[in-house]
Structure 1
Amino acid sequence: MREAVRLRRILILVAAVLAIAASVALLVRTPSSEPAAPVVLAAASLQESLEAAADAWTAKGHRRPVLSFAATSALARQVEAGAPADVFISADEEWMDTLSAKGLIRSGSRATLAGNSLVLIAPVSSKTDLKIAPGMPLARALGSGRLALADPSGVPAGRYARQALERLGVWDQVSARVAAGDNVRAALSLVARGEAPLGVVYATDAKAEPKVRVIGTFPPASHTPITYPIALLQTARAPEAEPLRRFLLSPQAQAVFRRYGFTPAAR
């Protein structure tokens, strides 16, 4: 059974990578008399905020960037496969480190875009009340249901969630009851639809979904700091790629990210 689930996840990841490659290649290589718009590969949890930041960029007279959202792990593998993209925004430092070690990140372009926090959520109609603390009765709170997480084997949100649950001493009681999503938005959707009674997602995801409520926030010390590094890729060719990167780090764009619940990251 586990092998079948593992195979299914691998097939889904391969399909996602191929879909990203096809869409990015089509958008980048469409003939035009204008310079190519920057192509941005970004973690799924940035979707609403980055779309809004792109609106602000476009309002300044620039071409709208091409935005592609997916799990950081899927995007990083696409970069490794040579995706014709310009900017990469990861949901953790580890995947950016991996690409940097392989020489796929442009030297001197890496910076921290924003930060986030981790929360326990339930469907908005749920009466579950649980204090996040060491040894909390998480398994009992799940009842006969499952805990929705992004896949902890590779997706940053899932790895942060596992870290937090391990440090609180409750991972062993729920690890066999995890409903793993391909990205954090998939985990969020499981809870929003009532298919999972509880889930662990980023605070910004919970804020974007009216069908869930936050039960509590995990202590920052329970997991690695959640940061979103941004960098130019070695494949960057769009003339406005670097200006866009600088804009996303500017006070104007940072105000947009704060509006969506992200925290300013120390630089």
Structure 2
Amino acid sequence: MEIFTRSLFAALLVGAFLAVPASAKDAKSSAMAPAAAQDKTLTVFAAASMKNALDEVDNAYAAKTGVKIIASYAASSALAKQIEQGAPADVFISADTAWMDYVTGKKAINEPTRVNLLGNSLVLIAPKDSKIDKVTIDQGFDLAKLAGDGKVAAGDVKAVPAGKYAKAALEKLGAWTAVEPKMAMAENVRAALALVARNEAPLGIVYSTDAKIEPGVKIVGTFPASSHPAIVYPVAATSTAHKGAEDYLAFLRSSEAKAIFEKYGFSFLVSPTT
């Protein structure tokens, strides 16, 4: 009986000993899982006009590093407000410096990581089958007359960078007052692009890179660079960015990323790092 009791007691001790580490190991694994996932995932908030090019850049980065990029595209204004309110973004790419300045002022950006990465141009578009073609855009340009009874699609001129650039250009060229009542304001530049592609607006003002990726539209004119502020895309890590954000930013400045961005029509404003 004594031998049996001792054997039973020993077995219970061994069982207890084995059970505790297993439980602790499971708990430790569960606790570490989110951190491990975060190390392999980055969230990027980017201007809507960047979608096609940045998707390709992100795929190249993921193939090279194993890090998955979760990209959220919208108007820079909307993204900046979300970051201000605590949205979990690691990187912000704005279509203008004003909204990057805004979130920087809110202490939501890791300022030393900020760099002006890309440039773009502003164009007038029409549906691909439109009779409107080869419009000369200069001082005295009568966009209101050209639009006829239709609307001119653009991003919201009060907030969306593409819309703000459009308004600045039209004011500089003396066309804004007449065309303002005909403006169809969209929530972002891709929404404005879609209005023209669907023939819901006979004309639109978008970035050249947007027109390039949409087969349903054609470029009928280009706004002089002197008619609006320079179109600049700054990029930076947020103040709450996870580990790995700066490595991603370095890749955005690489020769590989440069080739992709330029393929889509962006100008590259920095010297490649690799």
Fold-level similarity (TM above 0.5): yes
> Given the alignment, which residue of 39, 44, 47 partners 1:40?
44
Letter in 2 for 1:152: V
Give 1:107 shift: 2.7
- Residue 32 of structure 1, CA deviation: 6.8
Query: Structure 1 residue 53 and structure 2 residue 57: aligned?
Result: yes
Q: TM-score, normalised by structure 1?
A: 0.86
Percent of aligned positions that are identical: 50
- Which residue of 52, 68, 71 maps to 1:67? 71
1:224-239 to 2 correspondence within 5 Å? Answer: 224-237=229-242, 239=243
2:206 matched residue in structure 1: 201
* Letter aligned with residue 223 of structure 1: H
Structure 1 residue 241, shift from structure 2 partner: 1.0
Q: Which residue of 1 aligns with 2:185?
A: 180
Partner of 1:126: 130
Q: For residue 125 of structure 1, what is the amino acid of its counterpart? A: D
**Partner residue of 2:114 out of 103, 110, 113:** 110
Number of equivalent positions: 237
* Alignment match, 2:194: 189
Q: CA deviation at 1:104?
A: 1.1
The question of 1:94 aligning with 2:98 is answered yes
Given residue 93 of structure 1, which amino acid in structure 2 is its aligned partner? T
Cα displacement (A) at 1:265 = 1.6
Give the whole-Å Cα distance in 2 for the aligned partners of 1:36 and 1:233: 17
Deviations 1:27-79 (A, max 9, x none): xxx94743251110000000000000011111213212111100000000000
In 1: Cα distance, 2:35 partner to 2:245 partner: 17
- 2:244 is aligned, of 240, 245, 250, to 240
* Correspondence for 1:168 among 173, 180, 184: 173
Write 1 or 2 for the structure with the bigger share of helix.
2
Structure 2, gaps ≥5 residues long: 1-32
2:109 partner amino acid? I
Quick check: 257-266 or 145-154, which moved more? Answer: 257-266
Structure 1 unaligned residues grouped into runs of 5+: 1-29
Q: CA deviation at 1:266?
A: 5.0
Give 1:119's aligned amino acid: V
Larger-Rg structure: 2
Match of 2:223 in 1: 218
- Deviation of 1:138 after TM superposition, in Å, equals 1.2
Q: Deviations over 1:98-140 (max 9, x none)?
A: 1111211103100011100000000000011321111122111
Deviates more, 1:128-137 or 1:244-253: 128-137
The SS at the match of 1:60 is helix
* One-letter amino acid matched to 2:219: V
Per the alignment, do residues 89 and 213 of structure 1 end up closer, same or farther by CA in structure 2, a change over 3 Å counting?
same
Amino acid at match of 1:210: P
Structure 2: how far apart are the matches of 1:196 and 1:227? 27
SS of aligned partner of 1:38: strand
Question: CA offsets per residue over residues 188-207 of structure 1, 9 Å max, x none?
Answer: 00000000000000000000
Q: Structure 2: which amino acid aligns with 1:151?
A: D
Equivalent position of 1:159 in the other structure = 164
Q: CA RMSD in A?
A: 1.3
SS class of match (2:235)? strand
1:259 alignment counterpart: 263
